[in-house]
């Protein structure tokens, strides 16, 4: 019902009162034919006859409850009670979708690691979609949504016992405004606390804002809601994580480059592999680049082997040029192999490309 009401924003449809005939914007009177199929009756006609509008059975509170939803709901409402702000309404959190899925390893990585038995072909996970609502002026307002992937103990390494917060989105209508960010943080910290109790050991967050015109979960956003810049969004997450560290929910946090360096990651197969994540695509692109470079190298070798009919003078010049080229290639290679202190030694080109992208 929440999304159907949002869709009406674009339609600007009118509904007609079945008793007095007055026409009103459907979105302004919050009328939905699925909820009230017998037709629209305006507030004036209801007041005249001393009636009240039939209860909306499709409310957030009536959605099925789950242990996760109840845990987050209790945490957020306990926080709001401590703040004791007069504008605060009760927050309702519901997990609206759960399903079992698998992420398939893409062709490039499959050819390199799966076919040789070094890496699993697929990783099973549980996906969940959860939403938070606040009752404002008698209407349930959906203000926050989050999609997560949970890789359990039955999942092969490197994904085992990891969670990935794949999407997070909001619309800025939560009241009071001064507690909006804090409430978002409470939901995130609560989720990390919940999965920690279940035995998950590592959480991953892709801290990247949507591009202009893109939307993550909600299909549209208020025009005056600004998209945060990458730096600001990272600081937003750091603030949340600092609080979770102070509450001893999170032990430590770091960016992926630092994590890979400290874990002494030497092969791309050791990097966690999540559905829809940035890094599987980076690996596929890097593999294609390496294959193209190898094809070019082979073509150059074949061309060099075929060029046998040359004069002695030309041969000497060619040797000089080749020596210069070899020297140049060696210097380029040494520059390419320069690494930061503490970085593990990686012998293959794919790992080098991966570290270079992480460092950027």
Cα atoms in the 13 Å half-sphere on the side-chain side of 305: 6
pLDDT at 334: 39
pTM, to two decimals: 0.84
**What pLDDT digit, counting tens, does each position of 18-36 carry?**
999 999 999 889 999 999 9
Of the candidates 231, 228, 226, 224, the residue with the CA atom closest to the CA atom of residue 209: 228
pLDDT at 83 over 70: yes
Residue with more model confidence, 343 or 84 = 84
Alpha-carbon span 257 to 351, nearest angstrom: 12
Average pLDDT (251-262) is 96
- What are the DSSP calls for 272-312, one per residue? ---TT-HHHHHHHHHHHHHHHHHHHHHHHHHHHHH-----H
Quick check: 27 and 7 in contact, CB under 8 A?
Answer: no
Contacts of range 5-12, beta carbons closer than 8 Å, 24 or more positions apart: 5/30, 5/32, 6/218, 6/219, 6/220, 7/219, 9/220
Whole-number pLDDT of residue 186: 99
150 close to 110: Cβ distance less than 8 angstroms? no
pLDDT computed for residue 341 by the predictor? 60
At 55 the pLDDT is 87
Mean pLDDT of 253-269: 95
The C-alpha atoms of residue 359 and residue 354 are separated, in whole angstroms, by: 9
In the chain, what are the domains?
14-49 (no CATH), 60-252 (3.40.630)
Tens digit of pLDDT for each residue in 312-343?
455 555 554 555 444 444 444 333 445 566 66
Other beta carbons within 10 angstroms of residue 88's beta carbon come to 18
Q: At residue 8, does pLDDT exceed 50?
A: no
pLDDT of residue 347: 59
Q: Does position 1 have pLDDT exceeding 70, yes or no?
A: no
Q: Give the model's pLDDT for residue 209.
A: 92
Q: Quote the tokens at residue 170.
A: 């909001």
**pLDDT value at position 327?**
43
Residue 58: pLDDT above 50? yes
Per-residue pLDDT at 351: 94
What band does 154 get if pLDDT is binned at 50, 70 and 90?
Answer: very high
| Average pLDDT along the chain | 89
The pLDDT tens digits of the residues spanning 89-148 come to 999 999 999 999 999 999 999 999 999 999 999 999 999 999 999 999 888 999 999 999
- pLDDT value for 215: 86
Per-residue confidence band for 348, with pLDDT thresholds at 50, 70 and 90: confident
Q: Which residues contact 199 (CB under 8 A, 6 or more apart)?
A: 153, 161
Residues 119 and 268 sit within 8 Å (Cβ to Cβ): no
Q: Note whether 268 and 118 are within 8 A (CB).
A: no
Question: Higher pLDDT residue, 188 or 55?
Answer: 188
Give the integer Cα–Cα distance in Å for 219 and 177.
Answer: 22
Helix runs in the chain, H state only? 2-11, 43-48, 67-83, 107-109, 180-198, 230-246, 256-262, 278-306, 312-336, 349-359
| Rounded Cα gap, residues 68 and 191, in angstroms | 8
> Of 137-141, 203-207, 284-288, where does mean pLDDT reach its minimum?
137-141
Mean pLDDT lowest among 59-63, 165-169, 174-178, 210-214: 210-214
Give the separation between CA 286 and CA 292, rounded to whole angstroms. 10
The pLDDT assigned to 212 comes to: 79
Give percent of the chain above pLDDT 70: 85
């Amino acid at each position: 019902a929440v999304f159907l009401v949002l869709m009406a924003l674009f339609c600007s449809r009118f509904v007609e009162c079945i008793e007095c005939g007055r026409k009103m914007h459907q979105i302004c009177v919050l009328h939905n034919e699925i909820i009230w199929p017998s037709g629209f009756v305006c507030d004036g006609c209801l007041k005249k006859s001393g009636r009240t509008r039939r209860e909306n059975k499709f409310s957030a509170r009536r959605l099925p409850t789950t242990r996760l939803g109840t845990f987050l709901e209790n945490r957020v409402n306990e926080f709001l009670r401590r703040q004791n702000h007069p504008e605060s309404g009760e927050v309702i959190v519901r997990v609206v979708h759960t399903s079992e899925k698998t992420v398939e390893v893409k062709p490039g990585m499959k050819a390199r690691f799966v076919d040789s038995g070094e890496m699993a072909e697929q990783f099973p996970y549980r996906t969940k979609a959860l939403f938070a609502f606040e009752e404002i002026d008698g209407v349930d307002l959906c203000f926050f949504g989050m999609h997560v992937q949970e890789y359990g103990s039955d999942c092969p390494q490197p994904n085992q016992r990891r969670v990935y917060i794949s999407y997070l989105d909001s619309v800025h209508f939560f009241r009071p405004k001064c507690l909006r960010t804090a409430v978002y943080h409470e939901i995130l910290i609560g989720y990390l606390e919940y999965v920690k109790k279940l035995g998950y050991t590592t959480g991953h967050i892709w801290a990247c804002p949507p591009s202009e015109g893109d939307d993550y979960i909600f299909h549209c956003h208020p025009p005056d809601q600004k998209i945060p810049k990458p730096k600001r969004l990272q600081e937003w997450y750091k603030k949340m994580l600092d609080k979770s560290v102070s509450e001893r929910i999170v032990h430590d946090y770091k960016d992926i480059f630092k994590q890979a360096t400290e874990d002494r990651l030497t092969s791309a197969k050791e990097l966690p592999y999540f559905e829809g994540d940035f890094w599987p695509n980076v690996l596929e692109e890097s593999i294609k680049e390496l294959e193209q470079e190898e094809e070019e190298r082979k073509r150059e070798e074949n061309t060099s082997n075929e060029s046998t009919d040359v004069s002695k003078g030309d041969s000497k010049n060619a040797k000089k040029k080749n020596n210069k080229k070899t020297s140049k290639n060696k210097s380029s290679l040494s520059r390419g192999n320069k690494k930061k202190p503490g970085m593990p030694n990686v012998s293959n080109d794919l790992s080098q490309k991966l570290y270079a992208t992480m460092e950027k």
